[in-house]
Amino acid sequence: MGKTYERIDGRLRDFIEAQPMFFVATAPLSGDGTVNLSPKGLRGCFAVLDEHTVAYLDFAGSNAETIAHLRENGRITLMWCAFAGPPNIVRVHGRGEPVFRDDPRWPGLLRHFPDIDPGPHGLRAIIVAHAELIRDTCGYAVPFMTYDADRDLHERRFAREDDTSLSAYFAGKDHVATSIDGLPGLPLPLPPTPSV
């Protein structure tokens, strides 16, 4: 049934890159802290950087739990499941970090996402995860579902923001600069969007 992989390549890489959405799970160290599970979509927002490293674009939103948890402890799990074709579930367990706009790695990382314009989405970080355990399982109970298209609501909502107004938007949200459990989240104000 399940198999452990040494690296993300070949059929495994093809599978995860073909999925239109994935899920990200993180948690604080506190035993009574809030576990976070987030769906991620928009074609082109995910990239395999090398055989042990993946990354995705972290866009504007009303929470920053993943960022807060990664800043505290780095633990992350990403999951893809097949909603079409043969059943399959792939999980990458590892350590992650948010890379912010003022990090010198930002321009190089951004080049891994050539098929998406991050500007209209209020890009606030790039999440980089280093795999420590890579596994797949059967996915026999995952239903068939069709992918029709990405929603355009996110782009339409955040395309009207600039760096200043986006920082103000985040500052007005309860759980962006600070997580639900009071951990440091997204550093505000945002650094300016670098020209690349």
Average pLDDT value for residue range 102-109: 96
pTM to 2 decimal places? 0.96
* pLDDT, tens only, 107-161: 999 999 999 888 888 999 999 999 999 999 999 999 999 999 999 999 999 999 9
Q: Is the pLDDT of residue 196 over 90?
A: no
**Element (H or E) spanning 44, and its range?**
none
Interatomic CA distance for residues 172 and 178, integer angstroms? 11
- DSSP assignment of 12-26 equals HHHHHHH-S-EEEEE
Average pLDDT of every residue of the chain: 95
Q: What is the pLDDT at residue 120?
A: 87
Average pLDDT over residues 34-40: 97
Asked if residue 189 has a cis previous peptide bond (ω within 30° of 0), the answer is yes
At 50, give phi and psi (nearest 5°).
-160, -170
Cα–Cα distance between 177 and 169 in angstroms, integer?
Answer: 11
Boundaries of every domain in the chain: 3-171
Residue 77 CB burial class (10 angstroms; 0-12, 13-18, ≥19) = middle
CATH of domain 3-171: 2.30.110.10
pLDDT (tens digit per residue) in 39-78 = 999 999 999 999 999 999 999 999 999 999 999 999 999 9
Query: CA 101, 66, 168, 153 torsion: positive or negative?
Result: positive
